[in-house]
């Protein structure tokens, strides 16, 4: 069963705004009622993202800062607070799913607190084999919010690093880069990872039963 593109946005919204029974049945940990919906969007993957952020004006913050933000604003990652049925949410889910342009998350924390948190992961120090060159190690931008990077990077984190990354988060959902008809859900418990796959076709079946 192939999911039609026109149905994907409706399924994502029903699933992510917690109106879907399928999500509650799948999660290992319940999501607090006050948990808000956010997305990290990658305007480098789609230049229309930057345009529609300014057109529809949702609440958002750039994950770059200083000169980096000024020089790369049109291709920067942005943390956006999504509201159910608003224009930017509808545009994003209808036009950006399946092309590695965003990840979705739930959190009870504010946009500003989450922005500060994610900024810690934007720059990484490149490794060097020459111990005498440690002070000259170069830094590079790290697109952890690209689903292709995210699904590879997250499972490799050490236990404490995983808890540090998820400490402000209730849930992350992203597309499966190898199969856009499948979502991958991430949560962290007290002593273990929770990573589950959810097929869009199964969501359709559950919503109609």
| Radius of gyration for the alpha carbons in the chain, expressed in angstroms and rounded | 18
Residue among 26, 25, 41 at smallest CA distance from 183: 26
Token readout for 25 is 């049945």
Q: What is the mean pLDDT of the chain?
A: 86
Quote the tokens at residue 141.
């931008």
Task: Tell me which residue range forms the domain holding 164.
Answer: 5-125+138-207
108: its two tokens: 């009870």
Q: Which candidate, 109, 82, 110, places its Cα nearest to that of 167?
A: 109
Confidence grade of residue 200 (pLDDT, cut at 50, 70, 90): confident
CA distance 152 to 169: 19
Average pLDDT over residues 183-192: 82
Reduced to 3 states (helix: H, G, I; strand: E, B; else coil), residue 122 is: coil
Task: Note whether 77 and 8 are within 8 A (CB).
Answer: no
Please state, in angstroms and rounded to a whole number, the distance separating the CA atoms of residues 144 and 77: 10
195 found inside a domain: yes
What are the structure tokens assigned to 90, written together?
Answer: 């509808």
Evaluate whether residue 24 is within a structural domain: yes
Is it the case that residue 131 has pLDDT exceeding 60? no
Annotate 116-142 with DSSP letters as a single string. HHHHTTTEEEPP-S-GGGGGG--EEE-
Q: Is residue 56 part of a domain?
A: yes
- 132 part of a folded domain: no
- pLDDT tens digits for range 28-73: 777 888 899 999 999 999 999 999 999 999 999 999 999 999 999 9
Identify which has the larger pLDDT, 162 or 11: 162
Per DSSP, the three-state class of 7 is: helix
Residue 120 lies in a domain: yes
Residue 102 belongs to some domain of the structure:
yes
Number of domains comprising the chain: 1
Q: What pLDDT sits at residue 123?
A: 93
Contacts of 27 (CB under 8 A, 6+ apart): 171, 185, 187, 194
- Rounded distance between C-alpha atoms, residue 205 and residue 209, angstroms: 6
Dump pLDDT digits (tens) for 110-129.
999 999 999 999 999 877 66
Residue 206 has pLDDT above 70, yes or no: no
Residue 15, domain member (yes or no): yes
Tell whether the model's pLDDT for residue 82 goes beyond 90: yes
- pLDDT greater at residue 85 or residue 54: 54
CA–CA gap between residue 91 and residue 146 (Å, rounded): 19
Could you tell me the end-to-end alpha-carbon distance of the chain, in angstroms, rounded to an integer?
A: 16
- What local confidence, expressed as pLDDT, does residue 134 receive? 55
Name the pLDDT band for 207 (thresholds 50, 70, 90): very low
Residue 130 falls within a domain, yes or no?
A: no
């Amino acid at each position: 069963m192939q999911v039609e593109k026109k149905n994907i946005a409706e399924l994502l919204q029903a699933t992510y705004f917690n109106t879907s029974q399928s999500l509650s049945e799948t999660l290992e940990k319940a999501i607090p009622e006050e948990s808000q919906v956010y997305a990290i969007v990658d305007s480098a993957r789609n230049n229309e993202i930057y345009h529609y952020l300014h057109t529809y004006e949702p609440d958002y913050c750039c994950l770059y800062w200083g000169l980096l933000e000024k020089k790369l604003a049109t291709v920067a990652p942005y943390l956006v607070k999504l509201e159910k049925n608003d224009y930017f949410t509808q545009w994003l889910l209808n036009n950006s799913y399946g092309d590695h342009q965003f990840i979705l998350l739930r959190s009870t924390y504010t946009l500003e607190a989450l922005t500060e948190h994610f900024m810690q992961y934007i720059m990484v120090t490149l490794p060097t084999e020459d111990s005498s060159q440690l002070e000259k190690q170069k830094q590079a931008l790290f697109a952890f919010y690209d689903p292709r990077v995210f699904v590879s990077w997250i499972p490799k984190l050490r236990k404490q690093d995983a808890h540090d990354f998820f400490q402000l988060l209730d849930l992350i959902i992203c597309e499966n880069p190898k199969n856009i008809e499948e979502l991958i859900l991430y949560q962290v418990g007290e002593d273990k990872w929770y990573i589950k796959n959810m097929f869009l076709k199964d969501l359709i079946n559950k919503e109609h039963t």
